[in-house]
Copies of this chain bind each other. A is one copy, B any other.
């Protein structure tokens, strides 16, 4: 259900992952950070950047990824889709992060899709290239471990939320997560997209938002939700997580 957001002021409730790799240092790629000067450039020289238009599919449900992708700029949506067309957004990968990690495994797993959420630039690296890289630069391997451990953590949190919270609680958590910095609003996502993140129907989501609106917790606009009473949303999340009675 939940996307998996990774951000500094992180909300552990939903486990959504957005803005992954937001803390960038020297080279702008999370797993290559801290390499000796010049190394990064040498590595990247081997795999020239490729620009893709919004909507480009990197791999889809039928064929899993066979490469690892480094996102140089733009945003990528990771998702799963059911036979009947229902979609579940697993996460949004943003600048500096990688995706397609299943390709690191010998046996390519099918099931996940990745599509460009907006125009993006990526480096494409083969499984073998990445393996060699990690063996040669242990710090890179350690960084990858770090990122994967974090994503696993988030995925399990999502699982937990899916298991314990009802739609109301999940939506409340999502809103808090999509506005971690407390900017006061969430913009750019349609109800359908939000629904895909929490794993419910669009109608159920609209309905839930409407209830939030009537209770004064939020205000809704087209592709926009303004958070009026953050603490109320927080209370909803707590109440709905496991204490159904």
Please give the residue numbers on chain A whose beta carbons come within 8 Å of chain B beta carbons, in ascending order.
Answer: 1-2, 12, 80, 82-86, 88, 90, 101-102, 104-105, 109-112, 131, 134-136, 138-139, 141-142, 144-146, 148-153, 155-160, 162-164, 199, 238, 241-245
Contacts and interface: CB of A to CB of B under 8 A. Distances in A.
B163 A199 contact: yes
Consensus secondary structure, chain A interface: helix
Contacts of A83: 238, 241-243
Contacts of A146: 104-105
A60 to B, nearest CB: 14
Contacts of A157: 111
Contacts of A138: 134-136, 138, 141
A44 to B, nearest CB: 20
A197 to B, nearest CB: 10
A130 to B, nearest CB: 9
Contacts of A144: 141, 145
